[in-house]
Amino acid sequence: MTTPLKLNGRLTIKDLNALPEIPIEGITYDQMYIEKQPICPEYIAPDPNIIPSSKRTVVIDPGRICMPFGAMWASVGVHGCIPFVQGAQGCTTYPRYTFSRIFREPVSIATASFQEDTAVFGGRKNLIEGLRNLIIRYHPEVIAIVTVCSSEIIGDDMEGYLEEAQDALEEELGPDVLEETQFVIIHTPSFEGSHVEGYNRAAKAFLKTMARRTTPNNKVNIIPGMITPGDIREIKHILRLMDIEGNILFDISGTLDCPLRLPQAMPYYPKGGTKAEDMKDMGNSMMTFALCPDEGGAGARYLEKRFKIPAAIGPVPLGIHNTDIFIKDLAEATGRPIADEIKDERGILIDAMADTFHYTMGIRVAIYGDPDIAAAATRFCCELGMEPVLIGSGTESKQFVKDVWAAAHEYNLKPTILNGSDMFEWEDYLKKDKIDLILGNSKAANVSKEADVPLVRIGFPIYDRVGYQRRAYVGYRGGEYLLDLIVNTILDSKFPDDRVHQ
Ligand code: SF4
């Protein structure tokens, strides 16, 4: 029998790194001595012995948010859908706030409003009464029932409760109500993963509930992942140019970035979003493209297993190499030729890269974001002659590491990869190195200011700028936009005016 490890007093970074193992009860925050040093003219580089986030019992500056949020993001991309959160009000309020900050749009999300008594008696009554209220007042076409930490820990029997709720609804409102409203249950215990996994689970849950095999439709399925409405419009533009019909799952371009036209009927539903019949039809398609492997890959794999629909899972079509793969796969799957306009768009991006290569070449970049976007951005930076030296992902992913290493190997680079780290760890590495540019989301803005390294915003979430949600980063045109952002930021920060003006 081994003696349990005893910790006495406060531990420095060095002590922590020297520990043979982390004791089962963890290391409490007051036992740790962590000094965060501000950047200033007298700045002294931090101790190179950085505590890996995996050795800490606290997460500092998390680079992820909770699992139900990803499921809610997916659900609001469905036409006439309201997510119903089987949990407390806080689990609903902060996602609504986050949606408003990113998209500047109100989002309807219902809550079962758990109170103390629910922790004892369970959420059965809340679900049955909540669904009844929602249907009577808002008449949604689809209700996505999203569980949270509390309902999963209590052990709410969601499937059983839903059956009871449906029986009660049928009895009170007649059988039509069940024809008019579809229910999808998405299990998202946040202690098992982040928003990335929440979106992934939603993709599988929606397809499992809705997709059916009837008649082949000569379409492709697209599961975009948590990319912007602008990105989804760019994917539609590519499909249009190639004369391909597509079913896009979770089409937020029509719900989270929709036109304001008055008067609006109440209850208000945006006219866009993926329709229930399109999700049903996804069982008949030729191929499924899950653009982000960790956000939607599970849905593509489900369709492959259930209906034998081939799946192309990732990479995010960002930059030359990744977009080439997407376009080539589209052409092969559908037998459609690659449109001349697409070849021109590619040529314009290549031209822009050649025109700006002397600015981007050798720029040392640190990247942080969700795994799929961070990996794709890494490759694009390599294509621009930049040197990604530090790449971090807030959510752990094997595919992320594989994709980053593949790009690094091709370009003969040896970056530091932080898989599933918090931003505190990433920041420590960043300050240790000489970094010229950061690519990351709004959470990296403080680090950028503190370390005096300019930031190009990309990924999720971006809430400290307007308009980002309308822009596309994917496809050749998206690459062009991102390239302009990168080069203009470098010009602003690295070059004296006389060089910029030439
Ligand atoms: S982490 Fe759990 S309890 Fe907290 S908001 Fe998310 S789902 Fe709710």
Spacing, Cα 135 to ligand 1 middle (Å): 25
Residue 198 CB less than 6 A away from ligand 1: no
φ/ψ of 96, rounded to 5, equals -60, -40
pLDDT in tens, 437-457: 999 999 999 999 999 999 999
Superfamily of domain 220-268+276-339: Nitrogenase molybdenum iron protein domain (3.40.50.1980)
Q: How far apart are CA 425 and CA 474, in angstroms?
A: 29
Q: How confident is the model at residue 498 (pLDDT cuts 50, 70, 90)?
A: low
pLDDT in tens, 362-391: 999 999 999 999 999 999 999 999 999 999
What are the tokens at 268?
Answer: 């208000």
Spacing, Cα 120 to ligand 1 middle (Å): 18
- Helix, strand, coil proportions of the chain in percent (round to 5)? 50, 15, 40
Residue 68 CB less than 6 A away from ligand 1: yes
Q: How far apart are CA 151 and CA 87, in angstroms?
A: 6
pLDDT of residue 41: 46
CATH 3.40.50.1980 in the chain, residue ranges: 67-210, 220-268+276-339, 341-500
Spacing, Cα 44 to ligand 1 middle (Å): 38
Cβ neighbours for 53, distance < 8 A, ≥ 6 positions apart: 59, 60, 418, 420, 421, 422, 424, 425
3-state SS of 125-189? HHHHHHHHHHHHHHCCCEEEEEECHHHHHHCCCHHHHHHHHHHHHHHHHCCHHHHHCEEEEECCC
Report how far Cα 74 is from the mean position of its chain's Cα atoms: 10
Residue 87 CB less than 6 A away from ligand 1: yes
Q: How far apart are CA 72 and CA 190, in angstroms?
A: 13
H helix runs in 335-397, sequence order: 340-360, 371-383
pLDDT at 11 over 90: no
Beta strands in 191-322 (DSSP E): 220-223, 246-248, 287-290, 311-313
* Structural fold of domain 341-500: Rossmann fold (3.40.50)
pLDDT of residue 48: 55
Q: Residue 110 carries which side chain, given as an amino acid letter?
A: A
pLDDT in tens, 221-238: 999 999 999 999 999 999
Better-scored residue on pLDDT, 461 or 1: 461
Q: How far apart are CA 337 and CA 333, in angstroms?
A: 11
Q: What is the mean pLDDT of residues 347-374?
A: 97
Q: Do 440 and 458 contact (CB within 8 A), yes or no?
A: yes
* Structural fold of domain 67-210: Rossmann fold (3.40.50)
pTM, rounded to two decimals: 0.89
Q: How far apart are CA 107 and CA 386, in angstroms?
A: 39
Spacing, Cα 401 to ligand 1 middle (Å): 27
What are the tokens at 130?
Answer: 């909540």
Task: Give Dmax (Cα) for the chain.
Answer: 77
Nearest-atom index, ligand 1, CA of 68: 7
Is the preceding peptide bond at 263 cis, omega within 30 degrees of 0? yes
What are the tokens at 442?
Answer: 């709004």
Residue 148 CB less than 6 A away from ligand 1: yes
